[in-house]
């Protein structure tokens, strides 16, 4: 039932979005920055509807955002290519000198050409949106400028997609299932649905700035033990104690940062799915808020999205590399076997190993990059998830938001403290590398 409602809400939202576009086309034109935000927003809607895993969603964000930026950057003299500073990309196409272009149109064309080919399934919704946008440009541009801009966007998309076709993604599809291990301390599928491990070979993906997936391998996790004096037992006991006495604020924080793209909920014999934003989508939303709050120009908007997406993408690769190397058992499994067999964590445990925390890694990476762009004390109201779960929160900085996202996983009963701390340290290093390689 809830899944059907979610789908209805999504399509209703698209109708409202297209109606809004038509109204603006007839009256006041949308700014270039608004068009870029709208493009990104629709991609997030499609990712939610199509239920991509968080790492795969980050891949969609990084290639589409790079395509948009590589076209849009020509709107401002001196804006350097980002793709050319990353691993695996060649020289980016340049516009013809002396010719007129609309770079917002080119960026939009590049964005959706990449979106279609990396790929999403809800292509019909994309076409409806694209038609509205392209018709708006047709009305205000002469035919040669329009055609030239569209062609340039296509050329950018092809250059981006050439890298995407050889990044390891297609080789990672169709792999045998990862069902964990029955060895003591090792991850195995968790209740209530006992799903196999998600994206277990994501460390084979070609990185953007990292030298390798294991460049920032974290310290070894605590040694597995059932001894009540051991660190491993104490970690599990802490998770158990916190979950047995959660405050309302802790529950709110856990729910707010859950960002589980597809939660299977159980009510008696009934099962229903709830779709939500991915953790990466949440931070792309925060990047949008920062851009709007500062009045960023279109090139800055596109640049902010691209850099945030790079931070998410490489942090996922680094984190997933460690998850399936150490293969640490989740709290629910350990607690059920050694502390309380009736324990149920506040949040549903995601289907992959515990160490390190993905939320902690990707939020630390993204927040480090965003703080470099917008400042260390950038206060904002996070409304990224408002339309999906009806919640919003205020933060005094990106780092504060990332720290809350990280500890929320302990409150949710799905990570040990050592897992979130190691993930945060790992992600911060990824973010700092992006700053050193691209932003300085």
Same domain, 281 and 317: yes
Contacting residues for 119 by C-beta, under 8 A, at least 6 apart: none
Task: Please report where in the chains the tokens 């038609």 appear, as a residue.
Answer: 131
Angle between helices 279-294 and 54-72 (to 10 degrees): 30
In 3D, which of 434, 201, 437 has the Cα closest to residue 314?
434
Residue 84 is classified by DSSP as: G
Q: Give the 3-state secondary structure percentages of the chain, helix then strand then coil, rounded to 5.
A: 60, 5, 35
Angle between helices 331-338 and 231-244 (to 10 degrees): 90
Same domain, 424 and 296: yes
Distance CA 334, CA 314 (A): 30
Distance CA 185, CA 225 (A): 8
Domain boundary among 140, 170, 200: 170
Residue 127: the pLDDT is 85
Task: Please report where in the chains the tokens 């660190």 appear, as a residue.
Answer: 231
Total domains in the fold of the chain: 2
Angle between helices 231-244 and 417-434 (to 10 degrees): 100
Alpha helices for 118-247 (secondary structure H): 123-140, 143-164, 169-172, 231-244
Give the 3-state secondary structure of residue 394: strand
Distance CA 259, CA 407 (A): 14
Distance CA 280, CA 308 (A): 9
Same domain, 199 and 261: yes
Same domain, 142 and 188: no
Contacting residues for 431 by C-beta, under 8 A, at least 6 apart: 311, 315, 364, 365, 366, 367, 368, 369, 372
Domain boundary among 143, 170, 197: 170
Task: Please report where in the chains the tokens 């549903």 appear, as a residue.
Answer: 348
The CATH number of residue 52's host domain is 1.10.606.20
Same domain, 160 and 308: no
DSSP string, 176-212: PP-----STTB----TTT-PPPTTTTGGGSPPSS-SS
Give the 3-state secondary structure of residue 378: coil
CB distance 60 to 40 below 8 Å:
no
Same domain, 78 and 145: yes
CB distance 346 to 254 below 8 Å:
yes
Full pLDDT tens readout for the chain, 440 residues: 333 333 434 434 443 444 344 334 333 368 999 999 999 999 999 998 888 999 999 999 999 999 999 999 999 988 999 999 999 999 999 999 999 999 999 999 999 999 999 877 777 778 888 888 999 999 999 999 999 999 999 999 999 999 999 999 998 888 899 999 999 999 999 999 899 999 999 999 999 999 999 999 999 999 999 999 999 999 999 999 999 999 999 999 999 999 876 555 555 545 444 656 899 999 999 999 999 999 999 999 999 999 999 999 999 999 999 999 999 999 999 999 999 999 999 999 999 999 999 999 999 999 999 999 999 999 999 999 898 889 999 999 999 999 999 999 999 999 999 999 999 999 999 999 999 999 97
Residue 78: the pLDDT is 86
Same domain, 154 and 193: no
Residue 275: the pLDDT is 58
Same domain, 254 and 391: yes
Task: Please report where in the chains the tokens 């997933």 appear, as a residue.
Answer: 320
Residue 175: the pLDDT is 86
Contacting residues for 425 by C-beta, under 8 A, at least 6 apart: 218, 364
Q: In the numeric block, which tokens belong to residue 390? A: 């009806």
CA neighbours within 13 Å on the CB side: how many for 158?
8
Residue 118: the pLDDT is 86
DSSP string, 286-299: HHHHHHHHHT--HH
Residue 365: the pLDDT is 98
Residue 265: the pLDDT is 55
Task: Please report where in the chains the tokens 């309302």 appear, as a residue.
Answer: 248
Q: In the numeric block, which tokens belong to residue 191? A: 């209740």
* pTM for this predicted structure: 0.92
pLDDT one-digit tens code per residue, 353-406: 999 999 999 999 999 999 999 999 999 999 998 988 899 999 999 999 999 999
CB distance 62 to 309 below 8 Å:
yes
Q: In the numeric block, which tokens belong to residue 106? A: 């080119």
CA 7-9-11 angle, 5° bins: 70
Same domain, 110 and 183: no
Same domain, 183 and 145: no
Domain boundary among 152, 170, 188: 170
Same domain, 297 and 375: yes
β 393-395/270-275 pair status: unpaired
DSSP string, 424-437: HHHHHHHHHHHIII
Same domain, 162 and 246: no
Give φ, ψ of 399 to 5 degrees.
-65, -40
Contacting residues for 344 by C-beta, under 8 A, at least 6 apart: 191, 332, 413
Distance CA 169, CA 117 (A): 13
Structural domain containing residue 81: 2-170
């Amino acid at each position: 039932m809830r899944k059907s409602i979610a789908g209805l809400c999504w399509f209703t939202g698209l109708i409202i979005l297209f109606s809004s576009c038509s109204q603006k086309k007839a009256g006041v034109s949308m700014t270039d920055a608004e068009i870029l935000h709208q493009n990104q927003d629709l991609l997030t809607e499609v990712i939610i509807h199509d239920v991509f895993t968080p790492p795969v969603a980050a891949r969609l964000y990084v290639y589409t955002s790079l395509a948009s930026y590589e076209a849009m950057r020509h709107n401002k003299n001196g804006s350097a290519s980002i793709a050319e500073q990353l691993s695996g990309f060649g020289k980016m196409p340049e516009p013809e000198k002396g010719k007129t272009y609309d770079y917002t149109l080119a960026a939009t064309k590049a964005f959706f050409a990449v979106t279609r080919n990396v790929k999403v399934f809800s292509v019909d919704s994309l076409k409806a949106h694209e038609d509205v946008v392209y018709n708006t440009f047709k009305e205000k541009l002469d035919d040669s400028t329009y055609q030239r801009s569209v062609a340039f966007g296509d050329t950018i998309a092809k250059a981006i997609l050439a890298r995407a076709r050889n990044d390891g993604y297609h080789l990672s599809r169709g792999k045998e299932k990862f069902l964990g291990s029955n060895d003591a301390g090792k991850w195995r599928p968790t209740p209530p649905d006992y799903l196999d491990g998600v994206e277990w070979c994501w460390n084979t993906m070609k990185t953007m700035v990292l030298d390798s997936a294991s460049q920032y391998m974290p310290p070894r996790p605590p040694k597995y033990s059932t001894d009540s004096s051991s660190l491993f037992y104490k970690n599990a006991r802490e998770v158990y104690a916190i979950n047995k006495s959660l405050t309302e604020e802790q529950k709110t924080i856990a729910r707010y940062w859950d960002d589980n793209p597809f939660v299977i909920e159980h009510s008696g014999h009934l099962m229903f799915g709830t779709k939500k934003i991915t953790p990466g989508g949440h931070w792309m939303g925060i990047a949008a808020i920062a851009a709007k709050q500062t009045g960023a120009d279109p090139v800055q908007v596109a640049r902010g999205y691209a850099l945030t997406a790079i931070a998410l993408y490489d942090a996922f690769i680094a984190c997933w590399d460690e998850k399936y190397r150490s293969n640490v058992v989740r709290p629910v499994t350990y607690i059920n076997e050694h502390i309380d067999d009736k324990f149920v964590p506040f949040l549903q445990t995601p289907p992959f190993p515990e160490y390190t925390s993905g939320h902690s890694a990707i939020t630390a990476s993204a927040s480090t990059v965003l703080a470099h762009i917008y400042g260390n004390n950038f206060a904002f109201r996070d409304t990224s998830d408002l339309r999906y779960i009806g919640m919003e929160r205020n933060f005094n900085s990106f780092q504060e938001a990332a720290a809350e996202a990280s500890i929320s996983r302990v409150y949710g009963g799905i990570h040990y403290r050592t897992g979130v701390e190691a993930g945060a340290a790992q992600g911060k290093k990824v973010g700092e590398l992006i700053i050193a390689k691209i932003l300085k």
